[in-house]
Amino acid sequence: MTKEQISPRQLTFLVMSFTIGSWIVLPSGLEAWQNLWLIILLAMGMSLVFAYLCLFLFRRYPGKTLFEIHEIVYGPVIGRLFSLLFMWFFLQIGANALAVFVTLLKTRVFTATPDLALVIPWVITVVYGCRRGLEVIARCNEPLILATAGLILLSVFLVLNIMELENLYPFFNLPLPTVLWNTLGISLFPFGQNVAILMLLPQVNRPQKVRTAIFWGILAAGGLLSLLQFLAVSVFGKTGELFVFPTYEFYRMINIGQVFTRLELIPLLNFLTMGFIKIMLCLYILAVGTAQIFNLRVYQPLAFPLGVMILFVAQQLYPSISLHLEYIKLAQPFFGLFFSLFLPLLTLGVSFLRGSAQREMKS
């Protein structure tokens, strides 16, 4: 496979898009709604620790993807089994995001359009991007994430006349377990999903800067998400938790001199691009991962079948939004804990038990 190279800055941007991804429209942890923006910051700090631990793996095996590390640590058979488990995780991330955005489109804009009509252009675009490779995705991501960041920063000025800081009070009137549980939940989803980035790290052209790049990416994404939640809460107050897509809905409230009203289409399009990038990246990782597991030379032919697979998994796993919300609330944290934290740490532990990494990499 030809090695495509991305720069640390592009990696930062990819981490940002991947983290912001679907969470930007469908935030989890709504029971802590009024303090969500603070909990995001806490979760961001926690996820930095997780990321630090996971990056130990990369430092121990530089130039290897997660799947290659599995094979080195566990041997070819068990290693591949672990990799297949992770494939399911990545597939689920992609399907999850796709389901979120299709639901958003279906319920808010195209109420009468059949699902497939919305999904097919999506899959075509994503498969095309995936076939073009990581460099292209990373390049395309740069203006898109900058536009999204710019939009979120600009919204501060757009909502000035409708936000009320009283809406933010009271601070932290939550029981401690709720705070901790939601912090953990958010640090695993969306931040924890960044474990998928471990598949891309060997392609960064300056490996010594990987850690800084990822940290900046997580910090920037956390900051942006927190700011967005802050704005949503300050506009809606307590009522915000009634909405399924609060960050999208609060843009409807914008009203500047009766001229700029109902602007929600612009953030919708902007957040959709983040979804595109996230799913594209998932698909790329899936395709490259499959190619690595089965020792294929090229991954491009896998893009289309895997893209269709994401489509069907999305439709099977998340047939309705209420089921989806239940899943995010009850199952997602455990699922995320297993893949984002437990498995990488297990691999790290086993790797330490087996001794020197250099020796293993040679054999």
Partner 1 sequence: MFKMFWRKLRLAHQRKRAPAARSSRDLSPSLAVNLKAFLQELGTSPDLIIRHLTLGPRPGRTGALLFIDGLVDPQVVNRDVLFPLLNEANWGKNQGDIDLLAYVADNLLAVGEIERNTNFRQTMQALLAGNTILMVDGQAEALLLASKGWEKRAIREPEAEQIILGPHEGFTENLRTNTALLRRRIATAGLQFEEMKLGRRTQTTVAIAYLKGVVNEKLVEEVKTRLKRINIDYIMDANYLSEFITDAPYSLFPTIASTERPDVAAAKVLEGRVAIFVDGTPLVNTVPTLFVEFFQSPDDYNFPYQYATMIRWFRYLSFTLAVLGPAFFVALGSYHQELIPTPLLLTVKAATEGTPFPLVIEMVVMGLVFEILREAGVRLARPFGQTISIVGALVIGEAAVTAGLVGAPTIIVIALTAITTFVVPGLLGPGIYLRLIYTILAGVLGAYGILTGVLFTLLHLASLRSFGIPYMAPLMPVVPADLKDVVVRAPVWALWTRPRLIGWPQPRRQPIGYVPDQEEKGEEAGDDG
Q: Nearer to partner 1 by C-beta: 139 or 211?
A: 139
Q: Of 5-13, 44-52, 64-72, 291-299, which segment contacts partner 1 by CB under 8 A?
A: 5-13
For residue 352 the two structure tokens come to: 């330490």
Binding mask 116-135 for partner 1 (x = CB under 8 A): -xx--xx-xx--xx--xx-x
What is the closest distance, in whole angstroms, from the C-beta atom of residue 74 to partner 1 in the complex?
36
Sign for the CA dihedral angle at 144, 113, 132, 196 comes to: positive
DSSP string, 8-51: HHHHHHHHHHHHHTTTTTS-S-GGGGGGHHHHHHHHHHHHHHHH
Nearest to 145 by CA among 280, 14, 276: 14
CB atoms within 10 A of CB 155: 23
SS3 205: coil
What is the closest distance, in whole angstroms, from the C-beta atom of residue 262 to partner 1 in the complex?
5
Q: Of 4-12, 74-82, 216-224, 305-313, which segment contacts partner 1 by CB under 8 A?
A: 4-12
What is the closest distance, in whole angstroms, from the C-beta atom of residue 351 to partner 1 in the complex?
34
- Residues of this chain, 10-29, that bind partner 1 according to CB under 8 A: 10
Rg (C-alpha) for the chain, rounded Å, is 20
CA 289 to chain centroid: 18
Binding mask 71-110 for partner 1 (x = CB under 8 A): ----------------------------------x---xx
- Residues of this chain, 257-286, that bind partner 1 according to CB under 8 A: 258-259, 261-263, 265, 268-269, 272-273, 276
Rounded to 10 degrees, what is the CA torsion of 302, 305, 310, 312? -170
List interacting residues with partner 1 (CB under 8 A): 7, 9-10, 105, 109-110, 113, 117-118, 121-122, 124-125, 128-129, 132-133, 135-140, 142-144, 258-259, 261-263, 265, 268-269, 272-273, 276
